[in-house]
């Protein structure tokens, strides 16, 4: 049967998808209409392409202007104001502001949101993390905060610098951790505030409860519960892209930072497979299970990107290679007892966990991360 966009739009409308103006909405032939759920709203200027694309119940696409969703999973109640989202996953109630530009390896968890003109690639914003406007982040994970109101925030005009130009082609072995997975998933750590009109020269680690003042470039890691303002760097010396090379200390730091980052990604994958996915199945929420499956695809892409970038760095500068086979092994099984409380939404369930439950989960997540740190 020949593809007909008119028939596709009519069938979506008949099952409860709101299409404000069918003349200005495009659904490509490779999109599975079964993955566009009733209650979602497609505003004029919406374009959906790619077999992976999913638009969840109550999700809104293009509320402020034209929006393209390409091979991306958009969970229930999430929204995209306008812009371009490709090879990404947004969990329920995540929000992308106007003129967003989200590329592969980007994951926004529940209540994570960005204001206008934010570019993301290979970036994970965990629950409630908020970004202002005019921001560019590549190769970073952000967590921290207690709730949607008490959240980690990145001020407007912030950049994560992820490229080092030394050598023949430079490198992007520069992932930064703002908070961690192993602590941040429990929504009980103080938030991080990164002041606006600033940047981080990756790879760096910024601890929970820390605040970096506006108008600086952060060139060192910042421990927990610290207000940080770095000194300005001023120097002038001969330089050549092809003759400059990193010190032994720099090579060691790059390897350590990539190891720590991959350990956190491995722990987050374990969390999704064994905790989030199991709970969605207990709740009988097939749609949410598909969204979590999308998140796992995104996390796998993040792991592959880190391995690719580190391999390039290691081959160029003689750094020790990774034993990445450990990242393909199943994580240790969580064997603790949990009250899954299927009647609660995910965040309220996390807040309801007893100290004993949190302790079991925390120890298990640390064991997952330590497995990678030991074997990588």
Do 110 and 94 form a contact (C-beta atoms < 8 A)?
A: yes
Query: Are 205 and 64 in a shared domain?
Result: yes
For 92-149, the pLDDT digits (tens) are 999 999 999 999 999 999 999 999 999 999 999 999 999 999 999 999 999 999 999 9
The rounded distance, in Å, linking the Cα atoms of 178 and 194 is 9
pLDDT mean across residues, the chain: 96
Mean local confidence (pLDDT), 306-322:
95
- Indicate the pTM of the whole model: 0.96
**358 within domain boundaries:** yes
Mean local confidence (pLDDT), 20-48:
97
Query: Are 253 and 224 in a shared domain?
Result: no
Longest C-alpha distance within the chain, in Å? 68
Under the banding of pLDDT at 50, 70 and 90, the label for residue 167 is confident
Angle between helix 355-375 and helix 248-271 axes, rounded to 10 deg: 140
Query: Are 156 and 92 in a shared domain?
Result: yes
- pLDDT for res 1: 54
Write the CATH number for 177.
Answer: 2.160.10.10
**152 within domain boundaries:** yes
59 pLDDT more than 90? yes
Query: Which CA distances in Å does 45 have to 66, 283, 284?
Result: 4, 35, 34
**21 within domain boundaries:** yes
* Structural domain count, the chain: 2
210 pLDDT more than 90? yes
Query: Are 192 and 305 in a shared domain?
Result: no
- pLDDT for res 369: 98
Query: 180, 197, 228: which is the final residue of a domain?
Result: 228
Query: What is the number of other CB atoms lying within 10 angstroms of the CB of residue 335?
Result: 7
Query: What is the number of other CB atoms lying within 10 angstroms of the CB of residue 54?
Result: 27
Query: Are 40 and 74 in a shared domain?
Result: yes
Taking 3-state DSSP, the helix, strand and coil percentages for the chain, each rounded to the nearest 5, stand at: 30, 25, 45
Angle between helix 286-317 and helix 248-271 axes, rounded to 10 deg: 170
Query: Are 181 and 275 in a shared domain?
Result: no
- pLDDT for res 133: 98
- pLDDT for res 234: 80
Tokens of 71: 């091979």
Query: Are 205 and 74 in a shared domain?
Result: yes
The rounded distance, in Å, linking the Cα atoms of 220 and 233 is 12
- pLDDT for res 222: 97
For 225-267, the pLDDT digits (tens) are 999 998 777 888 887 777 778 889 999 999 999 999 999 999 9
272 pLDDT more than 70? yes
Domain that holds residue 196: 5-228
**243 within domain boundaries:** no
168 pLDDT more than 90? no
Mean local confidence (pLDDT), 198-215:
97
Query: Are 178 and 289 in a shared domain?
Result: no
Question: How much of the chain, in percent, has pLDDT values that exceed 90?
Answer: 92
- pLDDT for res 237: 82
Query: Are 21 and 119 in a shared domain?
Result: yes
């Amino acid at each position: 049967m020949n593809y007909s966009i008119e028939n596709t739009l009519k069938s979506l409308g008949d099952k409860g998808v709101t299409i404000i103006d069918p003349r200005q909405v495009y659904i490509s032939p490779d999109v599975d209409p079964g993955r566009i759920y009733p209650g979602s709203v497609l505003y004029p200027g919406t374009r959906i392409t790619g077999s992976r694309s999913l638009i969840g119940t109550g999700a809104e696409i293009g509320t402020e202007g034209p929006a393209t969703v390409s091979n991306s999973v958009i969970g229930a109640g999430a929204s995209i104001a306008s812009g371009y989202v490709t090879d990404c996953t947004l969990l329920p109630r995540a929000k992308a502001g106007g003129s967003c530009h989200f590329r592969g390896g980007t994951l926004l968890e529940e209540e994570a949101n960005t204001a206008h003109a934010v570019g993301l690639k290979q970036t994970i914003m965990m629950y409630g993390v908020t970004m202002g406007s005019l921001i560019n982040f590549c190769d970073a994970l952000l967590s921290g905060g207690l709730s949607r109101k008490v959240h980690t925030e990145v001020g407007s005009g912030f950049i994560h610098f992820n490229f080092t130009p030394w050598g023949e082609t430079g490198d992007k072995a520069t992932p930064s951790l703002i908070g961690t997975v192993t602590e941040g998933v429990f929504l009980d750590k103080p938030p991080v505030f990164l002041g606006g009109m600033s940047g981080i020269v990756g790879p760096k680690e910024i601890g929970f409860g820390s605040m970096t003042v506006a108008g600086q470039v952060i060139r060192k890691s910042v421990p927990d519960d610290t207000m940080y303002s770095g000194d300005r760097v001023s120097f002038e010396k001969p330089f050549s892209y092809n003759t400059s090379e990193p010190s032994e200390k720099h090579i060691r730091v790059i390897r350590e930072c990539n190891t720590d980052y991959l350990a956190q990604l491995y722990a987050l994958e374990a969390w999704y497979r064994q905790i989030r996915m199991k709970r969605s199945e207990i709740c009988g929420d097939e749609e949410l299970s598909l969204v979590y499956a999308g998140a796992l695809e995104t996390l796998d892409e993040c792991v592959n990107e880190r391995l690719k970038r580190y391999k390039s760095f290691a081959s160029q500068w003689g750094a020790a290679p990774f034993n990445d086979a450990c990242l393909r092994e199943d994580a240790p099984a969580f064997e603790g007892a949990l009250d899954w409380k299927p009647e609660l939404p995910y965040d309220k369930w996390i807040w309801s966990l007893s100290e004993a439950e949190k302790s079991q989960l925390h120890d298990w997540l640390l064991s997952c991360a330590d497995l990678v740190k030991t074997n990588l």
